[in-house]
Amino acid sequence: MHAERRTPAVLLAALYAVSGGLCVLAAARPMHADTPVRLLWVLAAVGIGGGLAIGLLAGRMRSWAIHTAVVLAGVLVAVLCWQSATAVGIVGLAPALIALGLFAAHFFDLRVARLHVALLIVLASAGALAAVPDVPALAWAMTVVSVAALAEVQGRLARSLRTAAATDPLTGVANRRAWEAEATRNLARATRTGEPLSFAILDLDHFKDVNDREGHGAGDALLRALTAGWTRRLRQADLLGRYGGDEFVVCLPATGQQGAREILEQLETTHEFAWSVGVATARQGDTLDAVLARADADLYAKKRSGRTA
């Protein structure tokens, strides 16, 4: 799940609570003699109670709990399809299916969202087929297509927006905000497990001269070339980000001081342009600002001594 934990939980709580409220209205004023009033009251209690529980636990809910709650909502919709008294009532559940599909598409990875939507469609279709009233095939097909199509569009759009929000548009590496968020998670993991974690700050030497002498187009091309070369040499778990105009940062999980320097030596061979680097390994109790401050101090100590990468 790509969004921060509280937001999807709060919205899912709202979906549960609103659905429960609608079940209360349907149970209080049934529109058909065979309306499953008892089931509606049960679903109302589950919806409202579940919404309150999810809302109260919003900041602490794990990803698996969010996924489970979405699947449970699909199961409840399928049960309501199965027990509905009229075909109109079954088709009328389309907005609930669309809402769940859009939720999954927005907050989950696209591949996982597709699995959720497929399961939702299978469950709801099974409930509709098992129901006593015959559901018009065309009406149900339109419902299924609408759920799948809207979820796919939303999922692709959400993925594009997440990528744009987390990526430096010039170099394609992580931007400062995205890098800091992931680096903070890596630091918390290292603190919990005790594994080494190192950070490096890379500062391009005399980059302004390139812009002044050859123009900003040449400077942009140089940044792209440097980051492309670094990315090829870094490991899959390493995280490269752009921190400023000509300053970059690297997070190196499961890597101590010596290992970090060996990796940086490999980066040096990717391009002839000179850059300076400062390295720091996280200590117990470090914040991200603290370890980066040590890396920055190491960087400027090297600059004063005339040493580059």
Question: Is residue 164 pLDDT above 60, yes or no?
Answer: yes
Residues ≥6 apart with Cβ < 8 Å to 165:
177, 178
pLDDT score recorded for residue 2? 45
pLDDT band at 308, cuts 50/70/90? Answer: low
R_g over Cα of the chain: 27
pLDDT band at 243, cuts 50/70/90? Answer: very high
Question: Is residue 116 pLDDT above 60, yes or no?
Answer: yes
pLDDT score recorded for residue 165? 87
Question: Is residue 291 pLDDT above 50, yes or no?
Answer: yes
Kindly state the helix (H) or strand (E) to which residue 197 belongs, with its residue range: strand 197-204
pLDDT digits (tens, 9 = 90+) for 58-106: 988 899 999 999 999 999 999 999 999 899 999 999 999 999 999 999 9
Question: Is residue 309 pLDDT above 70, yes or no?
Answer: no
Per DSSP (E only), the strands in 66-194 are none
The percentage of residues in the chain with a pLDDT greater than 90, rounded to a whole number, is 82
Helix pair angle (6-28, 94-107), 10° resolution: 170
pLDDT score recorded for residue 3? 47
Asked if residue 200 lies in contact with residue 260, where contact means CB atoms within 8 angstroms, the answer is yes
Q: How far apart are CA 22 and CA 241, in angstroms?
A: 47
Q: Which spans in 167-273 are helix H?
A: 176-193, 207-214, 216-233, 257-268
Beta-ladder partners of 247 = 203
Mean pLDDT of the region 223-242: 95
The set of catalytic residues is 246
Q: How far apart are CA 252 and CA 229, in angstroms?
A: 17
Mean pLDDT of the region 220-234: 95
**pTM greater than 0.85 (yes/no):** no
Q: Whole-number mean pLDDT of the chain?
A: 92
> What's 293-309 look like in SS3?
HHHHHHHHHHHHHCCCC
Asked if residue 197 lies in contact with residue 284, where contact means CB atoms within 8 angstroms, the answer is no
Asked if residue 241 lies in contact with residue 248, where contact means CB atoms within 8 angstroms, the answer is yes
The CATH number given to 176-305 is 3.30.70.270
Domain range annotation of the chain: 6-166, 176-305
Asked if residue 92 lies in contact with residue 100, where contact means CB atoms within 8 angstroms, the answer is no
pLDDT band at 14, cuts 50/70/90? Answer: very high
Mean pLDDT of the region 187-200: 94
Tokens of 281: 């390994």
Distances (CA, A) of 222 to 63, 176, 186, 241, 274: 40, 19, 29, 16, 11
Q: How far apart are CA 35 and CA 29, in angstroms?
A: 10
Backbone angles phi, psi at 44, to 5 degrees: -65, -45
Mean pLDDT of the region 282-305: 91
- Residue indicated by tokens 């001594």: 305
pLDDT score recorded for residue 118? 97
pLDDT digits (tens, 9 = 90+) for 16-61: 999 999 999 999 999 888 899 999 999 999 999 999 999 999 988 8
pLDDT score recorded for residue 55? 94
Distances (CA, A) of 195 to 230, 241, 283: 24, 22, 10
pLDDT digits (tens, 9 = 90+) for 168-178: 999 999 999 99
The percentage of residues in the chain with a pLDDT greater than 70, rounded to a whole number, is 97
Beta-ladder partners of 239 = 251
Mean pLDDT of the region 124-152: 94
Mean pLDDT of the region 131-151: 94
Asked if residue 25 lies in contact with residue 5, where contact means CB atoms within 8 angstroms, the answer is no
